């Protein structure tokens, strides 16, 4: 008998272990994993459906997010991650998923049982994603599930797993390697700060937000080539010139910024305009992922991570 539930529900049900644990599991073969790039996997999900694969990529973990990405290929649709075996990642996402760190029964997806090697490398990886808003890099062996093809007005995508059925799925069986993330200067965050506009009548417009395959890598290249070497040491200039480009201003010196927050690898600035009902918030960062594209991994440039126009009083 084949069960036909929406794919999102399949993962939820098996993750909780509350139903369908009696589903016949396919016999696992002893074949080694296919070593492929993440871009290969994303470009042809159907071909790799149910295959055991080994891929390397950046892991993003946070609220409604546990995904694998590579700046070399588009971020959408994403590859969702989940642990095999009885372990659970504790990721909260829609709908009905709890932050549980274990399940009563081993993971079974589409009749396929997925185990997990819980060795020291897995424990290191688990610590890396333990907190929300975190980016790391790892080589993963897992069972891939393409899901179903979802038609949209712009064509469609393979998915059905993860938050609101956003993604394909890689069920983790083993962590081959994981980066140690030892720098005290890089930004390991997975998301970008946004303005707090809880006051009635206030809001904001996104001018720029960091994406996994945006212009940041090119900005690092320009800094490495000496074209914008100041980006290594002058984050305020990065913020000022970045905002000027977004506002199409020819003279960046007209922008006055004030630093309001600084954490590891990240600084937030606010503009100081005459009209205080309309202001700009700018976030600059030394993103962890750029260390893999920099000429010197220990010399990562400051780049524009986020920019917002805020307004009050009717905007």
Phi, psi of 174 (to 5 degrees): -160, 145
Contacts (Cβ under 8 Å, ≥6 apart) of 258: 269, 270, 271, 272
Range of the domain at 257: 203-311
Phi, psi of 184 (to 5 degrees): -105, 5
pLDDT of residue 80: 96
- The Cα 143–Cα 23 span in angstroms is 18
Same domain, 40 and 129: yes
Same domain, 132 and 253: no
Contacts (Cβ under 8 Å, ≥6 apart) of 47: none
Rg of the chain taking only CA atoms, in angstroms = 22
Residue 118: name the closest of 75, 74, 153, 88 by CA: 88
Task: Say if 198 falls within a structural domain.
Answer: no
Same domain, 168 and 222: no
Angle at 124 between CA 123 and CA 126, to 5 degrees: 60
Same domain, 266 and 127: no
Task: Say if 2 falls within a structural domain.
Answer: no
Task: Say if 49 falls within a structural domain.
Answer: yes
pLDDT of residue 274: 60
The structural domain count of the chain equals 2
Cβ–Cβ under 8 Å, residues 122 and 128:
no
Residue 166 has which token pair? 């956003």
pLDDT of residue 313: 61
Residue 87: name the closest of 49, 122, 55, 62 by CA: 122
Per-residue pLDDT of the chain (315 residues; tens, 9 = 90+): 222 334 444 444 343 333 333 344 444 456 789 999 999 999 999 999 999 999 999 999 988 899 999 988 877 778 999 999 999 998 988 877 878 889 999 999 999 999 999 999 999 999 988 877 899 999 999 999 999 988 888 888 899 999 989 999 999 999 999 998 999 999 999 888 999 877 666 889 999 887 655 689 999 999 999 999 999 999 999 999 999 999 999 999 999 999 999 999 999 999 986 666 789 999 999 999 999 999 999 999 999 999 999 987 644
Residue 161 has which token pair? 């797993």
Same domain, 213 and 171: no
- The Cα 46–Cα 148 span in angstroms is 9
Same domain, 125 and 233: no
Task: Say if 296 falls within a structural domain.
Answer: yes
Phi, psi of 47 (to 5 degrees): -60, -35
């Amino acid at each position: 008998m084949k069960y036909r539930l929406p794919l999102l529900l399949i993962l939820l049900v098996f993750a909780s272990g509350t139903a369908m644990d009696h589903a016949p599991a396919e016999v696992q073969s002893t074949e080694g994993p296919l070593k492929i790039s993440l871009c290969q996997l994303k470009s042809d999900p159907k071909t790799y459906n149910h295959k055991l694969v080994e891929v390397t990529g950046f892991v993003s973990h946070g609220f409604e997010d546990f995904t694998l990405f590579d700046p070399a290929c588009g971020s959408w649709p994403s590859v969702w991650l989940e642990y095999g075996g009885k372990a659970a990642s504790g990721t909260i996402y829609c709908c009905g998923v709890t932050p549980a760190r274990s399940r009563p029964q081993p993971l079974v997806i589409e009749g396929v049982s997925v185990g997990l090697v819980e060795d020291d490398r897995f424990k290191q990886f688990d610590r890396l994603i333990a907190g929300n808003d975190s980016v790391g890099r790892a080589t993963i062996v897992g069972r891939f599930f393409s899901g179903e093809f979802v038609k949209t007005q712009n064509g469609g995508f393979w998915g059905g797993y993860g938050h609101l059925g956003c993604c394909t799925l890689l069920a983790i069986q083993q962590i081959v390697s994981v980066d140690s993330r030892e720098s005290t200067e890089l930004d390991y965050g997975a998301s970008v700060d946004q303005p707090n506009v809880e006051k009635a009548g206030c809001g904001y417009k996104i001018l720029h937000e960091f994406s996994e395959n945006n212009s940041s890598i090119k900005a690092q290249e320009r800094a490495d080539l000496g074209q914008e070497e100041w980006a290594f040491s002058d984050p305020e200039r990065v913020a000022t010139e970045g905002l000027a480009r977004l506002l199409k201003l020819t003279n960046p010196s007209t922008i006055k910024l004030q630093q309001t927050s600084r954490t590891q690898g990240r600084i937030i600035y606010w503009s100081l305009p005459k009209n205080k009902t309309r202001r700009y918030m700018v976030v600059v960062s030394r993103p962890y992922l750029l260390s893999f594209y920099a000429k010197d991994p220990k010399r990562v440039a400051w780049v524009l991570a986020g920019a917002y126009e805020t307004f009050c009083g009717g905007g």
